[in-house]
Chain A
Amino acid sequence: MKKRSVKSLALTSVVAVAVMLVLIPFFWMITTSFMKSGESFSYPPRFWPKAFTIQQYQILFQRLHFLRDFLNSFAVASLMTVSSLFINSLAGFAFAKYNFKARRFMFTSFLVTMVIPGQVGMLPVFLILRQMGMLNTYWGLILPGTVSAFSIFFFRQYMSTIPTDLIDSARIDGCGDFKIYWRIMLPLARPALVTLGLFTFLGTWNDFMWPLIVMNKDSMYTLPVALANLMGEHAPDTELMMAGSVVTTLPVMILFLALQKSYVSGLVAGSLKE
């Protein structure tokens, strides 16, 4: 018995030390962001500010445009989440609960899109958006990424488990098809909505390449693009760059912490789908 507890303590410590090593970059990022300019230029490196200061954050939000970039990121991620949940759940519902002629063909064509990497169509999508005057707009960033075969598949799987009896009885009560979707399926698919909503929000917030291409006016930058550009101008200002990184990554990490159960369950469900 005793031997077992010693072993347990040893193993737990090993893993705990590994976790701490993995988290050091975050720790260092946060503490350095509260240092005075130039304070991190020291050897050995400092892990704690001499005196905490929000100077770097003031520069970001008052002199630079991180508030605007933050709002852009927030708007894009929110709009993307709402529109993609709506459109993909609607399609998922159709595939889960209707028998129709083109069903097989349409479902396969959605799945095929999962095999082709997004970069392939990127150049023409850029030209299409340009023709439509949608470069440097929120919707130009959102519309090309709204449909997700993964989401449609996920919704289909989830909604298949909802009893069809519910739909039949609603129909007898005179419920239209859209009303069945809106009043019955969506509320019952809440867990799927939360999981996919979280995936979409985080994915959109963290995305870099597509906003880099679509948003070339600095008033439309999202946080990752703004941070990448800040790097070009302020590379020597370590403390400022760390504050910028905190502003960029902390919101989504907090959101994840709050909803981690749905996130992890969705991750696992996605991997076991075969």
Chain B
Amino acid sequence: MLKISHRDKKAVGYPGTRWSSVNAPYLFIAPSFVLLAVFFVIPVVAAFLMSFTDFDIYSLAHFRFARFVGLGNYMNLFSDPLFWKSMFNTFYFLILGGPLTIFVALLAAVLLNSKLVKFRSLLRLGFFAPVVATLVAVSVVWKYIYDPRFGLLNYALSFLGVAPRDWLSDPVWAMPAIILFAVWKNFGYTMMIFLAGLQTIPEVLYDAAGIDGAGSWQRFWRITVPMLAPTTLFVTVVTLIGYLQLFAEPYIMTGGGPMNSTLSIVLLMYRQGFRYWQMGYAASLAFVLAIVIFILTMIEMRVQKEGSAV
């Protein structure tokens, strides 16, 4: 390393020159800028162009076989029942799974923030364990937990008098099963963020409310919830973006079935693009997903802003 800087100086003639200090930041940013251009900016532009072509397995052999088809892919997409099915499934997952994850996380965070609870850092770690676990590995484990004959879930439910069910092979129950798994896997992350947010709420607010005769329920709704609003916005956006990209869970647990009831947008894109090599079609799917994520994030931020202004 010494040698490099030594050579730099020689190149400009005398040590400590302006040259190196003016150009150094560009040299330092250059590697990431080049990588970003090659593996992000160019591909995103290329994907955009690709979504207007019929790029398929023949084009894979020679790129020039791809023909311009205008809005053809988008037209096909919007008239493809499978696309609407995957949209529906992804939103089902998001609308049920998102709030559930955030609610469980908030509950866990409020409990763990109470000074009455002992061994808090240890218990916190327990809730967080699923977050760091490898998604594919725990998806495999949960597939067996949902097993109709020997699975733990049916066994646990039998104590409540619930009849056994083949969760992942039932078009009605497969998605709820995946949602339950996703809540288990992800709530620990949101809980950690909420815990950090709770720590920033000044104790005096609660003391003052207590003097004014507010009960713990009132204190929660009137102090904790509004004070956590910025944190809630952050976790909502993160959950939203993450959940719209649902992929590995259905890939491992159901393969998108039964009867496409767990087919997500990204899973459909993966199939079209990398299994059937309909890359033009898949590219248009990817863009629709990106636009959906963008619009929802914008709406979410606007709604929260207005909510907190009131």
Instruction: Enumerate chain A interface residues (CB-CB to B < 8 A).
Output: 4, 7-8, 11-12, 14-16, 18-20, 22-26, 28-29, 40-45, 87-88, 90-91, 93-95, 98, 100, 102-103, 106, 109-110, 113, 115-117, 119-128, 143-147, 152, 171, 174-179, 181-182, 202, 205-206, 208-209, 212-213, 223-224, 227-228, 231, 238, 241-242, 244-246, 248-249, 252-253, 256-257, 260, 263-264, 267-268, 271-272, 274
Contact = CB atoms under 8 A, between A and B. Distances in A.
A117 B33 contact: no
B287 A7 contact: no
Contact of B126 (A14, A19, A152, A223): A19
Indicate the member of A93, A110, A147, A242 with the most B CB atoms within 10 Å: A147
Which of the listed residues A20, A28, A94 has the most CB atoms from chain B within 10 Å of its own CB?
A: A94
B111 interface: yes
A19 B123 contact: yes
A98 B26 CA distance: 10
Contacts, number: 278
A15 B112 contact: yes
A268 B32 CA distance: 25
Contacts of B142: 25
B46 interface: yes
B178 interface: no
A123 B248 contact: no
A228 B251 contact: yes
Contacts of A176: 4-6, 8-9, 20
Contact of A245 (B114, B138, B230, B293): B138
A87 B274 contact: no
Nearest to A103: B25
Given A16-B123, A123-B279, A271-B193, A90 B140 contact: no
B39 A128 contact: yes
B132 to A, nearest CB: 4
Given A22-B129, A209-B248, A244 B28 contact: no
Interface in B17-37: 20-22, 24-26, 28-29, 31-33, 35-36
Contacts of A94: 24-26, 28-29
Interface string B88-129: 000000000000000000001001101011110001011111
A143 to B, nearest CB: 6
Contact of A146 (B26, B35, B150): B35
A241 B126 contact: no
